[in-house]
Amino acid sequence: MNFITIKQSIIDILIAAEAGRYRTVGNQQQTKAAEEVRNTKRQVAVYYSRGDFSKSSGRPTGPVQHDITFRIELTVSKSANADLTVLNNPASTPAQIATALAAAQTAAEAADQSMDEFWSIIYLELMDGRNVDMQLPVGTISSRWIDSFQKDEPRPRGDLVVLTGIANLTLRTAEQIPGEIGTPGANIIEKTLDIKDNIPNIAGTLTDNS
C-alpha cells in the first residue's frame, strides 16, 4: 500500500538532510539511552500512527482515500554536569540537592534550546516546497501538512536531561485494491480409500433354513 512507500520516502528525505546535525531512525523507539541522543546525536523517528478511510470518498472495490497521520518523534539530551540521581537519593545532603537542581535546570534549558533548533530543521525540511510530493510521482499524495508539535517535560537520566517532542504530519493518498491472489498449498496429500478388501466376507456365514 502507498502509506508504506510514503513513510520510507519521508525517512529518506530526513536522512538526506542530516548533515551531521541529527540521526534518523525508521520507527518509534519507546526507550532510548540518553547518551545515544546527546548533542548532535539527537534523533528523529518516523512511524505510521493513524489511517482514516472515509466511506464517502471511496468505492468498495477501490480506489479508497487514505487520510494518513505520521508521527514524527524528536529526542535530544544535554549534560547536567552533575549526577541527577542525587535528587532521588534520600541520603543526599541539602547542598548536594541544590547543586543537582541547578545543574538540572541548566541542562533542561540547553535541551530546550537544542529541541527548538532541531524542530526548526525538521519542520523546514518536511514543509520545503521541493518536498510537496515527498519526492514521489506527482499525484501520489495531497494535502501534506504538519498540524501540531508538542514537547514533553525534560526528564533526568543519570547525568543527562532528555527532552522529547512529537509532531503530526498528515496527508492523503489513494490506495488501490487489486485483490490478493491465493497460492495453492505446496504439499497436498491425496488419499483414496479402497474398501474392497475391508468388506467382511459374510457369504459363508449365511445358513439355508428352508
Q: Please write the tens of the pLDDT for every residue from 88-109.
A: 788 889 888 888 888 778 888 9
Residue type, position 58, single letter: G
Give all strands (DSSP E) within 58-194, no chain letters: 64-79, 141-151, 155-157, 160-175
27 vs 73, higher pLDDT: 73
6 close to 134: Cβ distance less than 8 angstroms: yes
Most confident of 57-61, 140-144, 159-163: 140-144
> Is the domain covering 2-181 a CATH 3.30.1330.40 domain?
no
Residue closest to 23 by CA, chosen among 59, 66, 79, 77: 77
| Per-residue pLDDT, 39 | 58
Find the helix packing angle between 2-16 and 94-126, rounded to 10°. Answer: 110
Residues 6 or more apart whose Cβ sits within 8 Å of residue 1: 66, 175
pTM of the model: 0.72
Report the DSSP beta bridge partners of residue 132.
none
| Per-residue pLDDT, 17 | 95
What would the mean pLDDT of 21-40 be, rounded to a whole number?
Answer: 62
Distances (CA, A) of 116 to 41, 127, 163: 15, 16, 11
DSSP β-ladder status, 43-52 and 64-79: antiparallel
